[in-house]
A and B are shown apart, each in its own frame.
Chain A
Amino acid sequence: NAGVTQTPKFRILKIGQSMTLQCAQDMNHNYMYWYRQDPGMGLKLIYYSVGAGITDKGEVPNGYNVSRSTTEDFPLRLELAAPSQTSVYFCASSSGRGTEAFFGQGTRLTVV
């Protein structure tokens, strides 16, 4: 019962570095999402996908890129890390539009 798996759990990046946050789900869900959560704030949608090959921007997409080549995987790419991207990142998936979403455990990213 893996559900949604995110790697890594923690990461420290220097300004200007790049990295990819990995997300995989084994529930055969079409919908996948990336959220970020800043301290004292709710979850803000970065990007989402409604199926392999289809992605779209959410509320806060600047500085990020995504791809969805398979149903299972939805990686999030940071090209030029900035301190404003220090946050906890959550990947989620759901079987339908806006229905119950299952979340991964999160990736805590610090940019210094």
Chain B
Amino acid sequence: DQQVKQNSPSLSVQEGRISILNCDYTNSMFDYFLWYKKYPAEGPTFLISISSIKDKNEDGRFTVFLNKSAKHLSLHIVPSQPGDSAVYFCAARGLSGYSTLTFGKGTMLLVSP
């Protein structure tokens, strides 16, 4: 059973527009959420994170929104650039013990010029 779900395998956006990547989770014990970006033949790189006590976190063109009641988070990229084309993974951390990160399947974003 998937605890972190990214239901859109891919997303296409035009350069300059907003990209919105979505992530849903089922485990209410998750307390910290992260987004990673991955280019082909490279390892994932950390992009942005948000604690469960917040509902928004911004870093430049990237904003993550968290809706705890809906168990939903989203990553907004404004404006989108062709270099943003990559696979984006949502990840979540649980509260207890040595809890590690649980990853979604990823969404491939294609930003066209």
Minimal Cβ-Cβ distance residue in A for B98: A50
User: A43, A97, A101, A104: which has the most chain B beta carbons within 10 Å?
Assistant: A43
Judge whether A98 and B104 touch: CB under 8 Å. Answer: no
- The reply to whether A43 and B45 contact each other, CB–CB distance below 8 Å, is no
Residues of A within 8 A of B34 (CB): 100
A102 with B41: CB separation less than 8 A: no
B76 at the interface (CB under 8 A from A): no
B110 within 8 A of A: no
Residues of B within 8 A of A100 (CB): 34, 46, 49
- Give how many A residues have a beta carbon under 8 Å from the other chain's beta carbons: 25
**Do A33 and B100 touch across chains, with their CB atoms under 8 A apart?**
yes
- A48 contacts across to B, CB distance below 8 A: 98, 100
Of chain A, the residue at the smallest CB distance from B31 is A98
Across chains A and B, which 8 residue pairs bring their CB atoms closest together, nearest first? A103-B43, A98-B93, A42-B103, A43-B103, A42-B105, A100-B46, A103-B44, A105-B43
* A contact set with B: CB distance below 8 Å: 4, 33, 35, 40-45, 48, 50, 56, 58, 90, 92, 97-106
